[in-house]
Amino acid sequence: MIYARIAGTGSFLPGEPVSNDDLVARGIDTSDEWIVERTGIRTRHLAARDVTSSDLACEASRRAIAAAGLQPEDIDLVIVATSTPDCIFPSTATLLQSKLGMRNGAAAFDVQAVCTGFVYGLTIAEKFIRSGSHKRALVVGAEVFSRILDWSDRGTCVLFGDGAGAVVLEASDKPGILATALHADGSHHPILCVPGAVASGQVIGDPFLRMDGQAVFKFAVKVLGEVANEVLAESGMEAGAVDWLIPHQANIRIIQATAKRLGVPMEKVIATVDRHGNTSAASIPLALDLAVRDGRIRAGQRIIVEGVGGGFTWGAALLQF
Ligand code: UT7
């Protein structure tokens, strides 16, 4: 039996942390108290003007590849989950491949599932590896969400940040990813979207992120509970058998409500949203890498990663680290 196992993790946050008070100092009509109470976010990182998603992806990928004890050319599949690609085409994955100096002809493409993008990418890579067609996949979530924020909309601009997280997934005869579930329901697209497009040399429509926060909140808690239970059922496990829950890092209140629904104590939940805000597709691999590097996550432990985002999309993976 071929499993897909995580062989290394990496992450990258650009520049210095920007605090809630820094946002107030920049003229945003908000407060540290409001942001912390409603979201748990204390700081986020904002990429410099000339830094792109593939730049952030490259730093995170180098760290993940080094952690796996590999070289970039050992990778035969590159998947980048992003909603903030460097350009319309080519894909951010091919630009990343070039920046990593990979000339081995590895397949490379992007996945667009917004904040669930990393779980979608991980699941796709797992299928490639289990089929025997590929041996080592680099799966990255990378975003510069600061580029699509309306900085005059305090209901959204305080929530998001920039960053990247990456894993190397490797074929193994030892258990790795045990169960996955992916879902989408496009009828919910209006509650979280960037509706604009580029056509005929112009931006057509609204190029900024728009969100009905309360509708998103309710939907997120519901489906994060359901999809975690789905992967538990698929692998024949109870929630108590899981060492760590890593939900999408959007809001501490969504994370707490999800954990409560699942009966998982907060001591078993990785929450790093306070440090980097909502980094969309980057949030799960960022949280995973931070917890691997601070020693909380150890070899052999069972982890559920789960995401929800625009589309709406949602999904989860249960894995043995
Ligand atoms: O990847 C998924 C991404 N999306 C999310 O995670 C969002 C999920 N939703 C949420 O996290 C919450 O709905 C928010 C944090 C976005 C908002 O919290 P809320 O408790 O739903 O607040 P609200 O939208 O009902 O607004 C309450 C008040 C309003 O003032 P009034 O009308 O009561 O006077 C807002 O104008 O809070 C005000 N407000 C703010 N005040 C200070 C909204 N944004 C801010 C702000 N600072 N940044």
What is the reported pLDDT for 236? 96
Question: Which residue of 214, 252, 279 sits with most ligand 1 atoms within 8 Å of its CB, as the best mutation to test the pocket?
Answer: 214
d(CA 175, CA 169): 12
What is the reported pLDDT for 55? 98
* Residue 156 CA, closest ligand 1 atom number: 16
Do 79 and 140 touch, CB atoms closer than 8 A? yes
For every residue of 40-53, DSSP letters joined together read ---EE----TT--H
Do 61 and 98 touch, CB atoms closer than 8 A? no
Task: Give the pLDDT mean for 248-253.
Answer: 98
Active site annotation includes 278: yes
Task: Give the pLDDT mean for 244-254.
Answer: 98
Global pTM value: 0.98
What is the reported pLDDT for 300? 97
pLDDT in tens, 137-188: 999 999 999 999 999 999 999 999 999 999 999 999 999 999 999 999 999 9
Of 45, 50, 42, 48, the C-alpha closest to 11 is 45
**Residue ID of nearest Cα to ligand 1 atom 29:** 155
**86 CA from centroid of ligand 1 (Å):** 29
Token output for 7? 């062989």
Q: How many CB atoms lie within 10 A of CB 214?
A: 9
**Residue ID of nearest Cα to ligand 1 atom 44:** 155
Q: Residue written as tokens 């980048």?
A: 80
Alpha-helical (H) ranges within 175-279 are: 213-234, 252-262, 273-276
Active site annotation includes 115: yes
* Residue 216 CA, closest ligand 1 atom number: 8
**Residue ID of nearest Cα to ligand 1 atom 27:** 155
Q: Residue written as tokens 């597709």?
A: 281
Domains of the chain by start residue, with CATH: 3-174 (3.40.47.10), 178-320 (3.40.47.10)
Q: Residue written as tokens 């204390």?
A: 42
